[in-house]
Chains A and B, each alone.
Chain A
């Protein structure tokens, strides 16, 4: 350990004082960049339209997509509870009065449960990554396929209940 590194441990403030600081934060730099960039109206290089899609890439955006969709549903439900008249049962009675076919109801249940299951299983996959597990490329593809299979099976199972 050199003299300069030892100084860092003994007196961090003194160590920093000898450096030449920039005077701008990362946030300020970002702000400057985006202001300059958007005002110059430059065309954007093609990126997602040309980059070769991979399974992990597609599953990642689907995780975000299902998350946003599910949140939308929850928020809509919560806001409806505050704003709409009547109670939950009355709305269910209304749906029952439409006499929808059982296959349509089954499909609707599947449509509700599918994004939830995908987000849940892929969420567990994410948590595994956060623990540092399964980050090899081959493992990424393997766990991805497992998530897809589990999603379909669990969605079918729940929709049948």
Chain B
């Protein structure tokens, strides 16, 4: 909200009269909201990236069915693991409390996600690949 109450009134007066700024009795704490022109844009950027990846993944599903190929296999590996990684990250943020626990959980998640991605790439390279694997599974 606008901190103009202090800025316009006592703040201005204090600067002018060089008296120490007296804290008004009815305000014990003031929380600074992030100013529009300062602060990291990391969080909104992450949010948008999550939506972009979601839409990409959505598009890859019919693409994988209509045109199964190696490019789709690797795209799927990347987008699927990223979407899962970020989704599970939100779950960690919601339920894991405390600085140390959060850090440990996020580190563990990163390790698992990286391993999963390499595993999927390995499968795409050395084995039949994701699209073919699903087709084979469905022919059971």
Chain A residues proximal to chain B, CB less than 8 Å? 2-5, 7-8, 12, 15-16, 18-22, 26, 31, 34-35, 38, 64, 67-68, 70-71, 74-75, 77-82, 87-89, 92, 95-96, 105, 109, 120, 123-124, 126-127, 130, 161
**For residue A38, which residues in chain B have a CB less than 8 angstroms away from its CB?**
97-98
**For residue B7, which residues in chain A have a CB less than 8 angstroms away from its CB?**
4, 7-8, 15, 18-19
- Residues A2 and B8 in contact, CB atoms below 8 Å apart: yes
**For residue B75, which residues in chain A have a CB less than 8 angstroms away from its CB?**
none
Main secondary structure of the interface of A (DSSP, over half): helix
A71 to chain B, nearest CB (A): 4
- Residues A31 and B32 in contact, CB atoms below 8 Å apart: no
Q: Considering the complex of A and B, which 3 residue pairs feature the smallest CB-CB distances, nearest first?
A: A78-B119, A4-B4, A78-B116
- Residues A75 and B84 in contact, CB atoms below 8 Å apart: yes
B92 to chain A, nearest CB (A): 11
- Residues A82 and B30 in contact, CB atoms below 8 Å apart: no
Q: Which residue of B lies closest to A27 (CB)?
A: B99
**For residue B88, which residues in chain A have a CB less than 8 angstroms away from its CB?**
68, 71
- Known pairs A20-B23, A71-B84, A74-B81; A81 contacts B32 (CB<8 A): no
Q: How many residues of B contact A (CB 8 A)?
A: 52
Chain B residues proximal to chain A, CB less than 8 Å? 2-8, 11-12, 15, 21, 23, 27, 29-32, 35, 37-38, 51, 54-55, 58, 61, 80-81, 84, 87-88, 91, 97-99, 112-113, 115-120, 122-123, 126-128, 133, 136-138, 140
